[in-house]
Structure 1
Amino acid sequence: MVINKIKITFLVFMIILIIIISANNVYSDSENKYNSKKTYVLILNRTTLEDIYSMNNLLTLINEGSIGLMNTRGLYGYDGPESYITINASTRCYANYSTTEFFNININEKKMNEYITATGIKPRNYSIANLKINKILKLNKNNKYSPNIGALGDCLHKEGLKTAVFGNSDTADSFIRTNCLIAMDSKGLIDYGNVDNVLIEDKYFPYGVKTNYNKILNELKGINKKASLIVIEEGDLNRLNLYKELLSDEMFIKHKKKILQRADEFIGDLLNIIDKNNSRMIITSPNSGEKIEGGVDKLTPIIIWGDGIKSGIVTSKTTRRQGIVSNIDIAPSITNYIGINSDKFSGERIESLEYNDNLSFIKELLKRTEFISKIRYSTLSIFCILTIMISLITTSLVLIEYRLKSIFKNVIIFSLILILTTPITLLLMSLFKIDNIYAFIVAAVAFVTILTIMIYRINIKNRILFITGFTYLIIIVDIISGGNLIKFSTLGYDPIIGARYFGIGNELSGVLIGCMFIFWALILEKIKRRYFILIFLIYTIVLVIAPNYGANLGATLSLIGGTIYFVISIYKINLDFKTITLFLLITIAFIMGFTIIDFSFSFTTSHLGKLVTSTINNGIKTVYDVISRKLYMNIKLLGVTIWSKVLLVNLICLILLIRFKNRKLKTLFKEKNNFFIGLTSALVSSTIGFITNDSGVLLASIANIFILNSLLYVTIEYTEETNTNYIKS
């Protein structure tokens, strides 16, 4: 009996022991699962691509890892603390230098008490705290993106993982510790690090101090196995930028070369304490790069090296551009590598693509991207001014029924054709890798002139048909083939601005709307197969909304609205409550269907998918914020952009034509009813686009260029046919 009791007791003891050991193993496995993987973020602020060529250790990292360009935009700009805090937050965020008061509270009781007084939180086992965390929260209270401040730090702390920060950019009279913004959690806390005592005096450096790399390296060894995220600020480059106004160009260059050499040596030393098999290093500049010869690079270099990184270039689903990522992609890249949830971030993880001679590729990409960005505004401004002038002159002549001599009439017609062919010219110009502004001007003028002359030689009745059809076809083919023309067109999107990186932007959506309905309306006069045309209209809508192609929800809504009007008009459908409800349900079902496809089958998430995901995670407030942001942007653009003037002039010209040439237009449209349907469908579509897009004024303006100029051209053409003498040779 006693023996049985002993056996039972022993058995129970063994079971408990096994459970404890198993639990410890599970805990250890969980701990190892995370803590075995580490990410080092080295900040070389104000670094440009050209700086890299003088840094041998960094060149070795690039050869072994991946390099790319990073958009540094924060909430408002590309500089200062907002670019740092955006890396950490769930989306674009704002901070200023007065909010970067981070101190080592573990060794400074006074700062510890200040933090407790401000937040009511007693930080246990934390080394660094932000005394102005509440100010950051207040600055972002009305942020239209509704960011989660310190999202990266929160994700790590939620899983019991630790963060660390070393270095600063302090000057003689100010604390600049923006690097801490990358690692802090929503309470402004960081586990380990040193931001107070990391400088040494050197009277030959800006502000008489420089970063003590040896101290950072020694302290890193102590926490290397404890922290999963380690952020290091080089600091001297930032101080040099702040000191720049006191230096001659020669001394600025001299100091920068010396600082870059020290930073490169530090990278070499850092590699000696990093285990490449379970670590990654991200080297980047959160702020715009400062060029030695003057000027800035708003796209800054980003290098990723280490575990799982290929030798090549970076990309992400945020940009879908080879070689370009966004600063909002860094945080999800870190959490994804460590293996924790990253759903709260608006960015996507950075991936590496194999590519030989990656640095040369990125250099060429930066050169071309910056050139397109540089000439974009001036090119489009010239186009807008020409459009306004030609529209006003031609409309005035039509209104006063001025008798023109043949040569003057031909000049007017030629000018209308030139305006209508300019958008497709600007798109096709991206076929040529031109990086000189004068060469671009000559090539663009020559291209549009030759194209206009070719179209002018076509039969007068088919010119608008050819222009709209050719433009429509090229845009559709480009969308299907990956948008290679759009990416490097002045009518495309600008990665430096960072509003859109892929799909079809609002400018070309306006071109598409203006061309599509007019083209198919004119085709309808020739083939009479309405179902055939309807198939192409639906196919175009599918392409524009598809996440892997156009990925533009606002333009899709515009096209759906215009197509519904087009169908109602050509089939002469009576509009009643039942019909309106049916079309509305079809529209909702169509968009919901593509939302499901986006989530279930698409390799990349579109803006629509992100909107739905954000709404699920954050509630209906997300939709409200998006609508508010779109309205705000449209109101803002109406006041500042030249496109608003183009739209206003076009609408005034249309109103004047309708008001004073009503009878003649009725006669024209009675004979050319399909053309009238095409114009009004485009007008309906552009109006919806104006409302549903955050830069809808661009879309509406460009669409109305095609509407007005096509109307003016056909009016002149019809006048010749009927011999009604208000523009006649």
Structure 2
Amino acid sequence: MIMVIIDRLSWSDFTNPAYPNLSSLSHRGSVGLLQTTTGGSCEAGNTYLSIGTGARATGGGAAGEAYQPQEMLKSGESAGNAFRQFTSREIPLLGVGMVTIARLRQSNAALPYPVVPGELGEMLAQGGFRVACLGNADLPGEPGRYLAAIAMNWQGLVPEGRVGREVLRSDPYFPGGWRTDYQALWHSYLELRPRTNLLVIDLGDTSRLDGLRAYIEPATFQREWQAALKREDAFLGRLLAELNPQRDLLLVVSPTPSAVARQKGDLFTPLAMVGKGVPPGELLLSPSTRRPGLVLNTDVAPTVLQFFGLTVPPTMSGRAMETAAIGQDPDSYLAQTREQILFVHNQRSPIIKTYLGYAIGVLLIALLLLLLGEQKVARRWGLPQFLISLMVFPAAALLMPLFHLWNLLPYGLVLLLVMALLTAATLGLERRRALLGFAALASFTVALVLGDALSGCFLLSHSILSYDPSGGARFYGIGNEYMGVLISATIFGAACWLSLKPRRPVLLMVALGFILVTVILGTPRWGAKFGGILTSAAVFPVTFLLFRGVRLNWRTFLLLALAFCLLPVGFAFFDFFRSASAQTHVGHNLALVLSQPVQAWNIVTRKVAMNMKLFRYTIWSRVLMAGLGGMLVLFFRPVGVMRLFIRRYPFLYSGLIGVVLTALAAFIFNDAGTVAAATAVTFGIPPLFYLLLREPSASPDLSSRDSLLG
């Protein structure tokens, strides 16, 4: 296997016909977009080390300090002596040593998940395969031997390599004065190839230019960038000509986005595989993402190990890449995918913050008017309609990918139109019969989420309110936002239908609905949301008993606790015993915990830390506090208003308790629980305020729980 690194490469560079060898890779082999998130920022020391460890690592500048033994350091010491002083080991005469290996271990030991510097090189060495590295991305006074972070073993050693000045040439016109000597690089490649199984080659010049971008005139930068890419493209052409596609595999990787791409939120770089076992014209696919064309940087190391027939260690969070045929040109498909991902990443925050700010304002105004007893003023201002608009936003945001709008102005206008239509439909049904509109809206939202999950998650994976692939947190299934919406809408919809038709068949349908939502949330093929299993296992049984009017005693509590424990464990082991390529993160984490029990504590602390961070710094927590705080106030002022609500709407009150429990459970059991908790109250607080703003005399008496219980 030959891994060629052309760093800081953009998608437009990759598909530019001016670079014929690069642009031909999508037809010679399979291509994809590489997600480059690390344990820190997207800088070279982190991105290269993440590839070498198969986990999101952090290395910084220390990951570039790899040397041949005879090279001299700034301190005047030889690299061989320094490595011996720091590690009590010797760098092989022809090898390369990461002088800062101890520092890399220490910095990654602080992460709340396992990261093993040198994991890829060590697994290959233990399997009897030889690794070498060639090239560098040095800047003036700053070593850039990051490729060794991919190729090294646990000891920080690469058995053989050429990473020094011998692969560079002086060029007075190139920024920094030194660039890659491709003739020397080619001779070294021919020398190393016969005795190497994995050869990592860093072409270097694009890294150097991007690192000095701030010091270079734009016109000069553009000229030198094009010239550097033409030289790199020519070298790639020589490698392709030498490739034996029946035996060899060429991997072209760009580990780090350019500085300009990072500013735009574009954390995806091109990736290509050509050769043995790779069909031409297809897309790369990873079990980590389940989206054709999207793979993670942590997937590269498992792919290398699979190529050599080696087992992937549980400390690697990535999965070996596969390929998928899509029936269209891969370049155009990936260009469209990248456009959609960038739109979600860049516009998600302003759109959602606008909605959440609007939600906080509407809820606070409604609360104030309720406290003042000014329900007539609220109705005159149209406040009930605004409250319903808060409830329709999740469904509207989930429908938006159907319109394929990736420009903010048309997207915003169509979103408002869809919200207006859903609000009008809900109000129309409410005027026909109280709670009918709410029941229909909740049922529509639940059906929309479940239907999309069952049919491949197209809407969920493209919605502005769902997960953000550029951030790398989630790529498939039901995310935190719609998990909270789904569970609370299910409970609220059930409460509405029970209020409208308090009959035993309806209660049976509610029970079946709770089971269906739980199964779809937890099944790896559909929802793949383990936090959703924990939340639903904690909330649905309690809510169902409240609907039945059952009092909770110690026996009931123990049965609920047993169900809560058994259900998630069953789903986790079901995922665990599936094949590694089919497992979700739940099965992978369970395997990790079984091999290293201490990782269970790390997982818990990581989730708690994420929750506390989101609660302290995001607007989601403000929405949550505004909703729950407003509801709490209404229990005391105006006097008797909640008692009237409980008497008139006993099922809705039980449902409201279920929604509040959903918010609390979602917060506790999910690593972004603040988000899930805030979206959960969407189907709790706004309808409560809506009903309390109505004239009490106009509210029907829907207290027929006794008729349901017989």
The bucket for the TM-score relative to the shorter chain is: over 0.9
Aligned counterpart for 1:327 among listed residues 297, 313, 320: 297
What is residue 668 of structure 2 aligned with on the other side? Answer: 691
CA contact (8 A) 2:261 2:267 kept: no
Is 2:632 the partner of 1:655? yes
Offset at residue 601 of structure 1 (A): 4.8
Match of 2:311 among 337, 341, 360: 341
- Give the 3 Å change call, closer, same or farther, for CA 443–186 of structure 1 in structure 2: same
Range with bigger deviation, 380-389 or 119-128: 119-128
Aligned to 1:119: 87
Give the deviation of 1:637 after TM superposition.
Answer: 1.0
Q: Check if 1:101 corresponds to 2:65.
A: yes
Shift of 1:267: 0.3
1: CA distance, partners of 2:102 / 2:240: 37
1:293–1:516 distance in 2 versus 1, CA, 3 Å: closer
1:57 to 21, 45, 61: 21
What is the distance in 2 between the residues matched to 1:135 and 1:219? 30
Correspondent of 1:402 among 374, 386, 389: 374
Match of 1:595 among 572, 579, 586: 572
Counterpart of 1:240, as a letter, is: L
Alignment of 1:569-718 (within 5 A): 569-601=546-578, 604-618=582-596, 620-661=597-638, 663-717=640-694
Give the secondary-structure state (helix, strand or coil) at the position aligned to 1:404.
helix
Shifted more, 555-564 versus 121-130: the winner is 121-130
TM-score relative to the length of structure 1: 0.91
Q: Which secondary structure state, in structure 2, belongs to the residue aligned with residue 305 of structure 1?
A: strand
Q: Do structure 1's residue 214 and structure 2's residue 183 form an aligned pair? A: yes
TM-score (structure 2 length as normaliser): 0.93
- The partner residue of 2:140 within 149, 172, 176 is 172
Letter in 2 for 1:513: I
1:519 is matched with 493
| Aligned-pair CA distance for 1:212 | 1.0
- Out of 483, 494, 506, the residue aligned to residue 457 of structure 2 is 483
Could you tell me whether the CA contact under 8 Å between 1:201 and 1:208 is conserved in 2? yes
Unaligned runs of 5+ in 1: 1-38, 725-729
Q: Cα deviations across residues 543-565 of structure 1 (Å, max 9, x unaligned)?
A: 00111111111122111111021
Deviation at 1:397, TM superposition (A): 0.7
Aligned amino acid, residue 663 of structure 1: G
Q: What displacement does 1:403 show? A: 5.1
Match 1:201 to one of 170, 173, 178:
170
Aligned to 1:452: 423
Contact (CA 8 Å) 2:63, 2:145: kept in 1 or not?
no
Query: 2:243 is matched with which residue?
Result: 274
Identity %: 25
Deviations 1:327-357 (A, max 9, x none): 0000000000110111332110111112441
Larger-gyration structure (1/2): 1
Residue aligning to 1:315: 285
Matches for 1:343-362 after TM superposition, within 5 Å: 343-344=313-314, 345-355=316-326, 356-362=328-334
Q: Is the 1:647–1:701 Cα contact (8 Å) retained in structure 2?
A: yes
The one-letter amino acid paired with 2:674 is: V
8 A Cα contact 1:217 1:270, kept in partner? no
Please give the alpha-carbon distance, in whole angstroms, between the structure 2 residues aligned to 1:322 and 1:384. 32
Equivalent residue letter for 2:606: R
Greater CA drift, 698-707 or 450-459: 450-459
Check whether the contact 1:48–1:291 (CA below 8 A) recurs between aligned residues.
no
- Work out the CA distance in 1 between the residues paired with 2:599 and 2:87: 28
Do the aligned residues in 1 keep the contact of 2:378 with 2:693 (CA within 8 Å)?
Answer: no
Q: CA deviation at 1:81?
A: 0.7
2:539 maps to 562
Q: Partner of 2:202 in structure 1?
A: 233
Residue aligned with 1:318, SS: coil
The RMSD of aligned alpha carbons is: 2.0
Q: Distance in 1 between matches of 2:338 and 2:159?
A: 37
Deviation of 1:248 (Å): 2.2
Q: How far is 1:241 from its partner?
A: 0.8
> Which residue does 1:154 correspond to in 2?
122
The code of the aligned residue for 2:354 comes to I
**What are the superposed Cα offsets for residues 484-515 of structure 1, whole Å, 9 maximum, x if unpaired?**
10111011111110011111110111111221
Match in the other structure for 1:33: none
What amino acid is the match of 1:93? Answer: A
Question: In structure 1, what is the equivalent of residue 351 of structure 2?
Answer: 379
The Cα of 1:579 is off from its aligned counterpart by 2.5
Partner of 2:402: 431
The alpha carbon displacement at 1:720 in A equals 4.9
Task: Give the Cα separation in 1 of the matches to 2:639 and 2:477.
Answer: 40
Aligned residues: 684
- Separation in 2, partners of 1:253, 1:485: 39
Cα distance in 2 for residues equivalent to 1:458 and 1:519: 14
Question: Mean Cα displacement is larger for which, 499-508 or 595-604?
Answer: 595-604
Deviation of the 1:376 alpha carbon: 0.3
For residues 101-135 of structure 1, give each alpha carbon's deviation from its aligned partner in whole angstroms, at most 9, with x where no partner exists.
Answer: 11112677932121111001234466100111111
Please, which runs of 5 or more residues in structure 2 have no aligned partner? 702-710
Matched, 1:391 2:363: yes
Q: Which 4+ runs in 1 deviate beyond 4 A?
A: 106-109, 123-126, 290-296
Q: Distance in 2 between matches of 1:342 and 1:455?
A: 52
Secondary structure of 1:224 counterpart: helix
* Structure 1 letter corresponding to 2:228: I
2:529 to 538, 543, 552: 552
